[in-house]
Amino acid sequence: MEFGSAHNFLEGKAILVIGATGFLAKLLVEKILRVQPNIKKLYLLLRAGNSEEATQRLHDEVLSKDLFKVLRGMWGAEFVSFISEKVLAVGGDVSVENLGIKDTKLREKLWEETDIIINSAATTKFYERLDVAMGINTMGALHVLNFAKNCSKLQMLLHVST
Ligand SMILES: NC(=O)c1ccc[n+]([C@@H]2O[C@H](COP(=O)([O-])OP(=O)(O)OC[C@H]3O[C@@H](n4cnc5c(N)ncnc54)[C@H](OP(=O)(O)O)[C@@H]3O)[C@@H](O)[C@H]2O)c1
C-alpha cells in the first residue's frame, strides 16, 4: 500500500491496537498519531485489570517515552488535550475471551465503532512456559479473531506475529 493511501485510509477511523506497551505497537501508535491526527479514536488495549490501571500504564510506559518527543513538540501545550480526545486506554488480556474487557458498555462500543484492529500482543519470550505461550500467542489470536467478528464495521484485522 502506498504511504498516501494508508494515510488516507486511517482518516476518521476508530483503531484498536492490542498490546500497546510493546516495542512494535508503541512505534505504530506514535506514527499514527503523528501522520494522521484526524483519526476518530485510538483504543489501546493494555494488559491491565481495569481502565485506571491501563491509563496509568499508557502514561508511564508509552506516552512518557522519548519516542513521543516529536509529537509533544508538534502539539506543545495542546498535547494533553489532543491525547485525551483521541486516545483511550482499555484494560484487558488477550488470553481470555472478549479480550478480558469486563466493562460491557465499553465492549459494545468497541464492537460498534471499530474499523481497524491491530493485534501486536504476544509473549516474545522464547523460553516461556508452553501453557502460558499457548494462552497468549495461540488462544490470544483466536480471542482477537472472535472479538473482530463482533465488530460490525470492521474493515481490517491485522495480526502481527513472528
Ligand atoms: N520486535 C520485532 O522486531 C519483531 C519482528 C517480527 C515479529 N515480531 C512479532 O510482533 C509481535 C510484537 O512484538 P514486540 O517486539 O512488539 O513484542 P513485545 O515488545 O514483547 O510486546 C508484546 C506486547 O504484548 C503484550 N501482551 C503480552 N501478553 C498479553 C496479554 N495476555 N494481554 C494483552 N497484552 C499482552 C505485552 O504487554 P505487557 O507489557 O503487559 O507484557 C506487550 O505490550 C510479536 O508477535 C513478535 O513475535 C516482532
Cα separation of 37 and 87, whole Å? Answer: 11
> Which amino acid residue places its CA nearest to atom 17 of ligand 1?
22
Average pLDDT score over residue span 32-40: 96
For residue 1, pLDDT over 60 is answered with no
Report which ligand 1 atom has the smallest distance to the Cα of 24: 16
| pLDDT given for residue 4 in this prediction | 63
Average pLDDT score over residue span 112-124: 98
What is the strand order of the sheet 87-92 is part of? 87-92, 41-47, 14-18, 116-119, 156-159
Residues in the ligand 1 pocket, defined by CB under 6 Å: 19, 21-25, 47, 93-95, 120-124, 136, 160-162
The answer to whether the beta carbons of residues 44 and 20 sit under 8 Å apart is yes
Domain CATH for 10: 3.40.50.720
Cα 78 to middle of ligand 1, angstroms:
30
pLDDT in tens, 79-93: 999 999 999 999 999
Cα 77 to middle of ligand 1, angstroms:
32
If phi > 0 it is left, if psi is from -120 to 50 it is alpha, else beta; for residue 107 that is: alpha
For residue 114, pLDDT over 60 is answered with yes
Cα separation of 76 and 71, whole Å? Answer: 8
Cα 109 to middle of ligand 1, angstroms:
25
Domain enclosing residue 88, as ranges: 3-159
Residue percentage of the chain with pLDDT more than 70: 98
Per the structure, the count of domains in the chain is 1
Cα separation of 4 and 1, whole Å? Answer: 8
Mean per-residue pLDDT over the chain, rounded:
96
| pLDDT given for residue 100 in this prediction | 97
